[in-house]
Amino acid sequence: NDNMNDQEITYLTEAMVNSGSKISWDLPLVLDKHCVGGLPGNRTTPIVVSILAASGLTVPKTSSRAITSPAGTADTMEALTNVSLSLDEMKKVVCEHGGCLAWGGSVRLSPADDLLIKVERVLDIDSEGQLIASVLSKKIAAGATHVLIDMPVGPTAKVRSQAAADKLAASFREVAKSLGLTIDIIFSDGRQPVGYGIGPALEARDIMAVLQNNANAPADLRERSITVAGAMLEMATDLPKGEGINQAKQLIDSGQAWEKFRHICEAQGGMREPPIAPYRFELIAHQHGWLSSVDNRRLSQVAKLAGAPADLAAGVEIHVKLGEEVHPNTPLITIHAESAGELNYAVEYLEAYPETVQICADKEQLNERVTD
């Protein structure tokens, strides 16, 4: 429950670390990051790892598969390359390229956490103390010395208010300090999904578009990745405040981050093209207006009913962002599915909850809603 104090969370974290294998890199500086979650499509990790590894830092990234979301980083990476690496394979990739993007489950870090997650999933609980212990035990077991926590805040994200975010951040800092871990926390906008895709293959396409500097790459995903990587560069080096973002941007713009990402994928077993779903449904706008709200949870549910993450090509593609103008007969979102049955489930759910994506006809009203 949420009645654990920081000392109790620290003890729980230590016990969880000691329940499994630990990786030692014999390096003074090993970076890792974690996003608290609740925000679909927020797939910054592969981009951040590529930027940091391209700058010469060590980022041995192990990620989870989806717990309750339409895709975890490991699911998304699986649309592009092999993620089930043994500890030796993982170490080899990291030694050669400075980073990896592997599934944590195949390395058995903090197995007690995996057990607790199974229980939480069945009971549908997600306590704060358990969240902190879960995240930090995995990072310590993976050999990290410096960790950045990205905390999206929004009415339908996991952390609903700034007050709740401040409280969670204070506990994270206290427990990390007790465990000798250097930590930095950034708060980000959690009001709508990030990127255009929700679901493994669609998110993989967004990642590639950003790394390849495509003109139509999702600007929000690029910006968030640069912000996170910039904060981590400043944490790991003596760069002055604000200089990290410039360096991160330069590593993407120059193509060095894309080249690093390609090398990591090749080393993990080769790079493949993300699959494309054969079945689709477009939700069409019937009125002129502006996009005023998006329900992250319901949109995630639509993507899951369409078959994500088990069906890599399934999910939801978003065509409009908050505050953008919408014209009649243009698509708001497209549902992708690998079977007609699953497409029908997703469409029925979306039709049952029309408030999932809301349009406001009055621009004055819109500004009030979007800035709430």
DSSP string, 57-68: --EEEEEPPPSS
Q: State mean pLDDT over 65-77.
A: 90
Average pLDDT over residues 290-296: 94
So what's the pLDDT on residue 120? 60
Which residues on adjacent β-strands are paired with residue 198?
316
Does residue 121 have a pLDDT over 80?
Answer: no
> Could you tell me which residue, 362 or 173, shows the higher pLDDT?
173
Q: What is the pLDDT of residues 77-97, one digit of tens each?
A: 999 999 999 999 999 999 999
Mean pLDDT of 38-53: 95
Q: Write the CB contacts of 217 (distance below 8 Å, at least 6 apart in sequence).
A: 206, 209, 210
pLDDT at position 110 over 90: no
Contact in structure between 264 and 60 (CB atoms under 8 Å): no
**With contact defined as beta carbons under 8 Å apart, do 71 and 199 qualify?**
yes
Predicted local distance difference test score (pLDDT) of residue 156? 86
Strands (E), 112-233: 146-153, 182-189, 197-198
Q: What's the confidence (pLDDT) of residue 251?
A: 98
Per-residue pLDDT, 275:
97
For residue 30, the model assigns a pLDDT of: 97
Question: What is the arithmetic mean of pLDDT over 11-36?
Answer: 91
Say if residue 369's pLDDT is above 80. Answer: no
243-261 confidence digits (pLDDT tens): 999 999 999 999 999 999 9
The reported pLDDT for the residue numbered 367 is: 66
Backbone angles phi, psi at 248, to 5 degrees: -60, -45
Three-class SS string for 30-43?
CEEEEECCCCCCCC
Can you give the pLDDT at residue 238? 86
Q: CB count, 10 Å around CB of 216? A: 7
DSSP 281-306: EEEE--S-EEEEEE-HHHHHHHHHHT
- pLDDT value of residue 195: 97
The residues assigned a catalytic role are 126
CA geometry: angle 68, 46, 321, nearest 5 deg = 65
Predicted structure pTM score? 0.93
- What pLDDT does residue 123 have? 60
Q: Is 90 exceeded by the pLDDT of residue 122? A: no
Q: If pLDDT is split at 50, 70 and 90, which confidence band does 144 have?
A: very high
pLDDT tens digits for range 151-162: 999 998 889 999
* pLDDT > 70: percent of the chain: 94
pLDDT bin (cut points 50, 70, 90) of residue 366 is confident
Please provide the average confidence, as pLDDT, over all residues in the chain: 92
Stretch 186-208: mean pLDDT, rounded? 97
CB 171 within 8 A of CB 132: yes
Going from the C-alpha of 153 to that of each of 26, 118, 157, 160, 300, the distances in angstroms are 36, 25, 6, 6, 17
Tokens of 363: 């621009």
Q: Which residue has the higher pLDDT, 136 or 21?
A: 136
The whole-number pLDDT of residue 73 equals 94
Domains, the chain, with CATH or none: 6-267 (3.40.1030.10), 279-371 (3.90.1170.30)
How do residues 208-246 score in pLDDT, each as one tens digit? 999 999 999 999 999 999 999 999 999 999 899 999 999
Q: What is the mean pLDDT of residues 115-135?
A: 74
Task: Determine contact, residues 180/171, Cβ cutoff 8 Å.
Answer: no
Q: With 90 as the cut, is the pLDDT of residue 362 above it? A: no
Indicate whether 118 pLDDT > 90: no
